[in-house]
Amino acid sequence: MPAKSRTDGSLPLKPAVLLLLVSLAAGEKHGYALRKDVAARSGGDVRLGPATLYRTLAQMLEEGTIEESGRRPAPELDDERRRYYRLTDRGRRLLDAEITRLEQLAASARAVILQRGKA
């Protein structure tokens, strides 16, 4: 089944959304931890400012790809103002579909480059 039909036409994902989903696939995080993780995973190429981060998280919450987590660290290790986020089943399916789409695109690009090199 094509990835697009499994995700209600949500693909391709914006880079920030993809990176946030990947970050949350590794575990629940609060906003500042997400900002740091996205920057690290992108080699510093993607740095989400607070407005972009929280606007994107709000859209993802509305779309049902993430949800707020009720779990929290011990109070002495946490700031009560933090909101923690986690992937939903829909978010995980969307991430899987996008990874498949990108792998297929990369394979197609490699095939074209190899074919062109033989010509």
Q: Any idea where the domains of the chain sit in the sequence?
A: 11-118
What class, spelled out in words, does domain 11-118 have in CATH? mainly alpha
Average pLDDT over residues 78-97: 92
Average pLDDT, the chain: 90
Confidence class of residue 72 from pLDDT cuts 50, 70 and 90? confident
Cα(111)–Cα(42) distance, integer angstroms = 26
- The candidate with the shortest Cα–Cα distance to 96, out of 18, 16, 15, is 18
Residue 84 phi/psi, 5-degree rounding, is -100, 145
The 10 Å Cβ neighbour count of residue 97 is: 21
pLDDT of residue 3: 43
Q: Among residues of the chain, what percentage have pLDDT more than 90? A: 75
| Amino acid making up residue 31 | G
- Higher-confidence residue of 116 and 86: namely 86
pLDDT of residue 74: 66
pTM score, whole prediction:
0.85
